Amino acid sequence: MDRVVPVSDFPGLLAIPPGHHVIRTIQIRAGELFQTLSTRVAGPGDVGRIFQVAIDRTDEQRLLVNYRERLLFVLTLSLALCSAIGFAIARSGMGPVERIIRTARTIRSSTLHERLDMAGLPTELQSLADTFNDMLDRLENSFVQVSQFSADVAHELRTPINNLRGEIEVALGRGRAPAEYREVLGSALEECGRINRVIQSLLFLARAETAGEHPHFEMLHVVAEIAAILEFYEPAAVDAGIALSAETAEPLRAIVDRTLFQQAIGNLVANAIAHTPRGGSVGVRVRQDDTARLHIEVADTGRGIAATHLPYVFNRFYRADRARSSKGGNFGLGLSVVRSIATLHGGTVSIDSELGQGTRAILSIPSQGREPTSSPYTPI
């Protein structure tokens, strides 16, 4: 062994305590690696017996070096392949998102009819695309309603203005007696009143939809208020040959805005009178349920409303009977105002009707009202 591993590479004989051993790894020549073991045991003499062993570990070391090199190469290649595959997967996954982005960028107010194509979208994006399409549906409906509302406003204001202008032009066409001028001025005043009522209703609806506006609540005797409203409309009902009646189970109180409450009930009663033929009746019924909600029902025995018109009766300027003009204050805004007042009070309004059987409108509001704020809503 000393021809391969020099004795000097082993520890000194006396440097090893008895019963102990020393293990070393030494490199004899380039590429040759040995592991040595030296131990000392008790025996004859002062030194005892010494055992020295050397094992050639060159092949094992070379195997480990090759393994590390190959492992480093495999890890590097795997990292590169995983990065490339991950990038490809990300690009493929972002494809539907980019398609949604491209479609969304092309949508304008004039192209609200366009929708996201749901075909080929992954399950995770189908819910997003469906929600986006629903939002586009609502936006399109809103734009259509705004356009229709603008056209209706122009039509409703154009008619009285044209009438007013025509009467004034006729009056100025030649000299007239004072009585004729008074007649023309009276007719002009009536047309101005119609324009003013339309503007007031539109202004109320705009304010009612403004965030932060609130009614001015106060405690009211509901039965007394209903009686006062019916008393106000009694002359109009008598002229139309219609009987007015009220049905209340017990004295009720509610925290509401008095002016808005009177306007809402008045609009329902006026609408019922306008659509009830001579000899009919209009009744108001008031009750309170177990949840402290107040229900005011206005029912008539009029001509009724077709089922196809019921979903739209609360739309502004909508009239079920297109043949009816806006004379007599029928502008198609009364029920819209009632719905806005109900919303301001945290309530709802609904209508049931059958042709030839009459119509029933129910206004439901909390009897305890809402918490007043420091900036109360100022009704028109």
Residues 357, 225, single domain; the answer is yes
Other CB atoms within 10 A of residue 274 CB: 17
Residues 297, 237, single domain; the answer is yes
pLDDT at 138 (0 to 100): 86
Residues 176, 223, single domain; the answer is no
CA contacts within 13 A on the Cβ side of 47:
8
Whether residue 180 lies inside any domain: the answer is yes
Whether residue 70 lies inside any domain: the answer is no
Write out residues in the chain with pLDDT < 50, as ranges: 212, 323-328, 371-380
The structure's pTM equals: 0.52
Residues 34, 138, single domain; the answer is no
Whether residue 62 lies inside any domain: the answer is no
Residues 229, 307, single domain; the answer is yes
Instruction: Output the six-digit token pair for 275.
Output: 């659509």
Whether residue 131 lies inside any domain: the answer is yes
Domain holding 225, by residue range, is: 218-366
Whether residue 104 lies inside any domain: the answer is no
Residues 170, 241, single domain; the answer is no
H/E element, 302: none
Residues 190, 308, single domain; the answer is no
Residues 250, 157, single domain; the answer is no
> With the C-alpha atoms ordered 14, 20, 26, 32, is the resulting torsion angle positive or negative?
positive
pLDDT at 155 (0 to 100): 67
Rounded distance, CA 82 to CA 172, Å? 90
pLDDT at 212 (0 to 100): 47
pLDDT at 326 (0 to 100): 45
Beta bridge partners of 27: 33
The H-assigned helical ranges of the chain are 58-106, 123-172, 178-208, 222-239, 258-274, 334-344
Residues 154, 253, single domain; the answer is no
Residue 35's SS3 state is strand
Rounded distance, CA 263 to CA 341, Å? 9
Count of domains forming the chain: 3
